């Protein structure tokens, strides 16, 4: 034929293996290597959801490559066929929710695959794992499987010496999977070593350099590849050492760009107390609806430390169908054991609630919106259970929450549990009244749980409640929760406030005692209602009935983290019935009984003063008062004089120095020097009067300049005498100098 001579080793290697069998080995080895290279994406998607697009993509890519090699298609034809097949069959494999019955492709599935090929990479990197399989999220791994397998197999099946180069494709796919993956993966050392050994042995065999009659060389080759794989894998076995692209991306949502929702607490109470904010269905009795969690205090407000730093409560990231893998595991454990909490399915409809903060319940497992556009705007903080909707909340928006409402441990269950070792942001500008109040309240506490309970009881039992709505009869109470307001609450004569102040104060007090505490703002629907009273024989209470939440349901509380128990809720706010007015009314309604007092004894007779007696005591008081007044006046005058003297001291010093200089010039023993000193005195006076003379001018020119500057200039003959005195042939007499 037209082909050149082949190496003898390659010829002998092919001589013992039929061509069809060699092609099967090529396909199986390369397809298996690509499958193994995509294992780093398993934790990103959550496991089995990735099998269909990856396995299907590998089979599809291998099939197109085999067909191209058998039909001898040119590269452009192979590329076109691969593109069409990938887009059409990508529907059932990567976007099954857009197909008919999960099998038949549709126009929507084709569009979804195309858009996923362009936008899916960004979503994979910005969404928080596990991603799930909604939308076009499965398109990127599907494309890696199809393209990687097709190129590798087609290159291996092609005639020529370039066939062993196909072994480079699976490592390229592996690198892409690692960059798209997370810090945790599946057996990285074992997978990397296996891929390296198999590809190295296959490439050596495919190039004809591996001979079965040389077992020692084969063993050394496998050992070398395995050792290199184990060494490299061990060096980067730690998840933190693995570089992934998602670490280099800054989440688009930064909670620090928004005002603290806790600052608007009084707005909910005063302006939105009757406004229907949202409707919730399926909420267990007594469950709380979380709006925002705050762990950073800057001295002015509590805010969210969601900047991704080590001292932040997590960060807000785009999430897939499952928002929290940890919550999903807890939910499975709760269902399996029946203890530790309650798994709920809650439906929420937004009405009048504004801002970006999305109401959540318990520990959310998944958040599903009816509107796909709203789903793409969801950001979730896995550490706090808080969620936001970028762009703001919309009236009429509905979503479903699959969540676990954890059971609250009591004091006996907490026992001597220590506070969790969390690195929270240090509070700034904390007033001294916080540490004083915390020390007084927890003086007798022995365990961290007792300290937290003592702080809660000190505030709720000693304080009074007021929203500050004076127009409705509330006791005056300022809004805010910064350092000044907390200092007033804890250090004032009367402890008055509402949830905003008490939650802020307790969180700061707990931080002072070394407990990891944070403030939570949310809603407790129907807290003031009595379900038993509301129920009737004809209309019993329906726990699944929709509940309308208004601004009057807003509350703030404190959460403290304990080892083995997580975040535990504390309510430091006094009951709304515990107001200063009630205390005063109680004192007036139950006055102490009046006891009749005996009549006073008769007064002693007063003798009129004699003529030589002293002045009455009242006069002495007046004299003392007058004396004190004169003393204060004298002290005031002395203080004012001293202050005036301090202010005038610089000017007095300057005047004294000028007088001394003038006196020295007048008393100079040499008459010529006295004349020159007189002229310098004139120049100094002109300078003080802002009539400077050119320093290079002669005395005659200076005299004329001063003559023009001042209307009351000295007589010409006097100025002439002063100018000529230093140059006179005979020294002036002392009388002439004067």
Residue scoring higher pLDDT (316 or 224): 316
Using 50, 70 and 90 to split pLDDT, how confident is the model at 209?
Answer: low
Task: Over range 481-496, report the average pLDDT.
Answer: 93
Q: What pLDDT, on a 0 to 100 scale, did the predictor assign at position 120?
A: 85
Q: What pLDDT, on a 0 to 100 scale, did the predictor assign at position 192?
A: 79
SS3 428: coil
Using 50, 70 and 90 to split pLDDT, how confident is the model at 221?
Answer: low
pLDDT digits (tens, 9 = 90+) for 509-521: 999 999 999 999 9
Question: How big is the chain by its Cα radius of gyration, in Å?
Answer: 45
CA-to-CA distance for 483 and 505, rounded, in angstroms? 9
Residue scoring higher pLDDT (709 or 233): 709
Residue scoring higher pLDDT (496 or 625): 496
Total-model pTM: 0.53
Q: What pLDDT, on a 0 to 100 scale, did the predictor assign at position 589?
A: 38
Using 50, 70 and 90 to split pLDDT, how confident is the model at 359?
Answer: very high
Q: What pLDDT, on a 0 to 100 scale, did the predictor assign at position 461?
A: 95
Least confident residue range of 274-288, 534-548, 549-563: 534-548
Residue 499 has pLDDT above 80, yes or no: yes
CA-to-CA distance for 515 and 240, rounded, in angstroms? 28
Q: What pLDDT, on a 0 to 100 scale, did the predictor assign at position 224?
A: 64
Question: Each residue of 435-460: b (16+ CB within 10 Å) or e?
Answer: bebbeebbeeeeebbbbbbbbbebbb
Question: Phi and psi of 574, rounded to 5°?
Answer: -65, 160
CA-to-CA distance for 431 and 483, rounded, in angstroms? 6
Task: Over range 62-81, report the average pLDDT.
Answer: 92
Are the CB atoms for 341 and 567 separated by under 8 Å?
no
Using 50, 70 and 90 to split pLDDT, how confident is the model at 215?
Answer: low
**Domains, in order of start, for the chain:** 19-237 (no CATH), 255-316+406-528+544-577 (3.10.620)
Q: What pLDDT, on a 0 to 100 scale, did the predictor assign at position 134?
A: 78
Residue 602 has pLDDT above 90, yes or no: no
CA-to-CA distance for 345 and 666, rounded, in angstroms? 105
DSSP code string of 57-110: HHHHHHHHHHHHHHHT--HHHHHHHHHHHHHHHHHHHH-GGGSBTTTB--HHHH
Q: What pLDDT, on a 0 to 100 scale, did the predictor assign at position 306?
A: 54
DSSP E strand boundaries for 551-613:
554-562, 566-570
Residue 481 has pLDDT above 70, yes or no: yes
Using alpha carbons, select from 130, 236, 253 the residue that is nearest to residue 181. 130
Residue 581 has pLDDT above 50, yes or no: yes
Task: Over range 611-625, report the average pLDDT.
Answer: 44
Q: What pLDDT, on a 0 to 100 scale, did the predictor assign at position 703?
A: 81
């Amino acid at each position: 034929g037209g082909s050149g001579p082949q190496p003898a080793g390659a010829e002998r290697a092919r001589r013992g293996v039929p061509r069809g069998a060699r092609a099967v080995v090529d396909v199986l080895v390369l397809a298996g290597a690509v499958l193994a290279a995509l294992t780093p994406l398993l934790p990103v998607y959550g496991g089995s959801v990735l099998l269909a697009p990856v396995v299907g993509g590998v089979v599809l890519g291998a099939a197109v490559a085999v067909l191209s090699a058998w039909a001898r298609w040119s590269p452009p034809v192979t590329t076109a066929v691969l593109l069409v097949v990938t887009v059409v069959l990508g529907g059932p494999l990567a976007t099954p929710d857009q197909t008919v019955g999960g099998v038949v492709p549709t126009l929507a599935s084709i569009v979804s695959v195309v858009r996923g090929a362009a936008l899916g990479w960004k979503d994979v990197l910005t969404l928080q794992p596990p991603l799930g399989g909604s939308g076009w999220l499965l398109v990127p791994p599907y494309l890696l499987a199809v393209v990687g397998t097709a190129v590798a197999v087609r290159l291996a099946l092609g005639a020529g010496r370039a066939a062993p180069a196909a072994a480079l494709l699976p490592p390229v796919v592996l690198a892409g999977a690692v960059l798209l993956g997370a810090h945790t993966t599946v057996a990285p050392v074992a997978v990397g070593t296996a891929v390296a050994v198999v590809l190295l042995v296959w490439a050596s065999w495919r190039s004809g350099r591996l001979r079965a009659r040389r077992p020692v060389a084969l063993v050394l080759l496998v050992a070398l590849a395995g050792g290199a794989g184990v060494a490299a894998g061990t060096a980067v076995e730690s998840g933190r050492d693995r570089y992934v692209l998602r670490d280099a991306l800054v989440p688009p949502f930064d909670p620090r760009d928004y005002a603290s929702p806790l600052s608007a607490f009084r707005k909910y109470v005063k302006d939105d107390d009757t406004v229907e904010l949202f409707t919730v269905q399926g909420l267990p009795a007594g469950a709380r609806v979380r709006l925002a969690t705050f762990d950073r205090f800057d001295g002015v407000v509590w805010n969210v430390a969601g900047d991704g730093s080590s001292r932040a409560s997590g960060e807000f990231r785009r999430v897939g169908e499952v928002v929290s893998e940890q919550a999903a595991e807890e939910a499975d454990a709760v269902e399996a054991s029946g203890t530790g909490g309650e798994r709920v399915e809650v439906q929420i409809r937004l009405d009048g609630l504004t801002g970006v903060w999305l109401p959540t319940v318990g520990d959310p497992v998944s958040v599903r919106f009816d509107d796909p556009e709203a789903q793409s705007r969801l950001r979730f903080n896995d550490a706090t259970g808080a969620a936001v909707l970028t762009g703001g909340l919309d009236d009429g928006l509905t979503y479903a929450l699959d969540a676990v409402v954890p059971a609250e441990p009591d004091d006996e269950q907490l026992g001597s549990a220590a506070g969790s070792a969390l690195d929270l942001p240090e509070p700034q500008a904390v007033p001294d009244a916080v540490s004083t109040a915390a020390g007084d309240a927890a003086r007798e506490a022995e365990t961290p749980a007792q300290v937290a309970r003592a702080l809660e009881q000190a505030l709720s039992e000693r304080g009074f409640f007021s929203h500050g709505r004076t127009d409705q009869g509330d006791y005056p109470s300022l809004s805010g929760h910064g350092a000044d307001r907390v200092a007033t609450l804890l250090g004032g004569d009367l402890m008055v406030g509402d949830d905003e102040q008490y939650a802020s104060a307790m969180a700061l007090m707990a931080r002072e005692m070394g407990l990891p505490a944070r403030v939570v703002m949310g809603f407790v629907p129907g807290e003031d209602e009595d379900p038993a009273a509301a129920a009737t024989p004809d209309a019993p209470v329906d726990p699944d009935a929709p509940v309308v939440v208004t601004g009057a349901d807003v509350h703030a509380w404190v959460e403290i983290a304990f080892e083995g128990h997580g975040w535990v809720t504390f309510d430091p706010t006094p009951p709304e019935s515990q107001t200063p007015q009630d205390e005063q009314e109680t004192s007036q309604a139950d006055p102490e009984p009046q006891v009749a007092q005996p009549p006073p004894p008769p007064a002693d007779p007063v003798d009129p003063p004699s003529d030589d007696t002293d002045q009455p005591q009242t006069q002495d008081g007046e004299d003392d008062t007058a004396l004190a007044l004169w003393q204060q006046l004298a002290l005031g005058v002395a203080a004012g004089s001293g202050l005036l003297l301090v202010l005038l001291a610089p000017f007095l010093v300057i005047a004294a120095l000028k007088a001394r200089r003038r006196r020295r010039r007048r008393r100079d023993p040499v008459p010529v020097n006295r004349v020159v000193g007189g002229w310098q005195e004139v120049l100094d006076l002109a300078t003080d009067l802002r009539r400077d003379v050119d320093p290079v001018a002669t005395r005659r020119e200076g005299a004329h300049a001063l003559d023009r500057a001042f209307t009351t200039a000295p007589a010409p003959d006097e100025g002439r005498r002063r100018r000529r005195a230093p140059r006179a042939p005979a020294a002036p007499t002392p009388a002439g100098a004067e």
